[in-house]
Amino acid sequence: MTKLIHVAAAAIFDDQDRVLLALRDKSQHQGGLWEFPGGKVEAGEPVIAALARELNEELGIDIDQASVKPLIQVPYHYPDKSVLLDVFSVTAFTGEPFGREGQPIEWVSHTALEQYQFPAANKPILNSLLLPKSLAITPKLPVSEYQNYAEQAFANGAQWLMLRAKHITDAEQAEVAAQLQQSFPGRIVWNSNASQANDAAVDGLHLNSQRLMTLEDRSEFRGRWIGASCHNAEQLEHALRLGLDYVTLSPVNHTQSHPNDIPMGWEQFKALANSVPLPVYALGGVGLESLEEAVENGAQGVAGISGFRAGEA
């Protein structure tokens, strides 16, 4: 395999939560496309030091290293070269950014990011910026209680909600999914199959690991987001081949709901999460209190059933 070119890159945020993009020169590899600023890590150079150096050279800014947090690691293989993008979020810096090498730059709102054309290796970065950090998964509930649960989960820190309700009929699930989608547009994913999710017109579909391994083409789903539950490297690789937008990876720790499952622990989670260019949610014995630890170990964020109800840990 071609040796990976190690690149440090940044999603730089201003005080309006806009992200800075730079336009690659047409003479460069993937030229004429927008990118997240950064550059090559030199041999033996600490990656954060490389990031700070590159952002000063390219943009004339000095970053506050205390504000630098891991965002996503992206190993990507083009036909002519392979790169490893170490991507960080940067929320504090000094200086006024400008294209120090003559490159155009723009501050872009989250809602406008998808209007820009990026190199293929940047798609996981884009998804990481648009996806939430916390994903609540519904417990078994009577049909009438899902709306209340969703309201409670969002009030307690969930940013998205996964409807997982295999104990009720398909028709009941579809009704609940449609209601939740109407109440919380853009924040609902349904743990179902592509056909049902299309009929309910939800924005997001989540596949269990069995459905993941039998799916042949992500275009079977017409919505924006499609993710899947993964438990091993084989499933992660299949999700990658399909071009899914995110996955959950579990179990990280012991859980009461699956006491016989052997947890992988953070070390194995990090190795698996960093092996694929996909946003990966930590699942299994984690909650909002684990978010920082999860991010430090390569996670997009945390997902869970417990922890989003009042009084639950």
Domain membership flag for residue 310: no
- How does pLDDT run across 32-69, given as a tens digit for each residue? 899 999 999 999 999 999 999 999 999 999 999 889 99
CA torsion sign for 134, 137, 138, 140 is negative
Q: pLDDT tens across 120-163, in order? A: 889 999 999 999 999 999 999 999 999 999 999 999 999 999 99
Give residue 256's pLDDT. Answer: 72
Predicted confidence at residue 313, as pLDDT, reads: 39
Does residue 141 share a domain with residue 85? no
pLDDT in tens, 92-127: 999 999 999 999 999 999 999 999 999 888 999 999
* Percentage with pLDDT > 70 across the chain: 95
Are 104 and 168 in a shared domain?
A: no
Q: What angle do CA 227, 233, 236 make, to 5 degrees?
A: 15
Tens of pLDDT, residue by residue over 238-285, are 999 999 999 999 999 987 766 777 899 999 999 999 999 999 999 999
Q: Is the pLDDT of residue 312 over 60?
A: no
Please say if the pLDDT value at position 2 is more than 80.
no
- At 78, the amino acid letter reads Y
Residue 194 lies in a domain: yes
Is pTM beyond 0.85? Reply is yes
Of 72, 90, 121, which residue is a domain's last?
Answer: 121
User: Does 94 share its domain with 235?
Assistant: no
Is the pLDDT at 286 greater than 50? The verdict is yes
The parent domain of residue 300 ranges over 134-304
Contacts of 249 (CB under 8 A, 6+ apart): 230, 231, 236, 264, 269, 272, 273, 280, 281, 282, 283
Q: Is residue 201 part of a domain?
A: yes
Domain CATH for 300: 3.20.20.70
User: pLDDT for 287-300, tens place per residue?
Assistant: 999 999 999 999 99
> How many folded domains does the chain comprise?
2
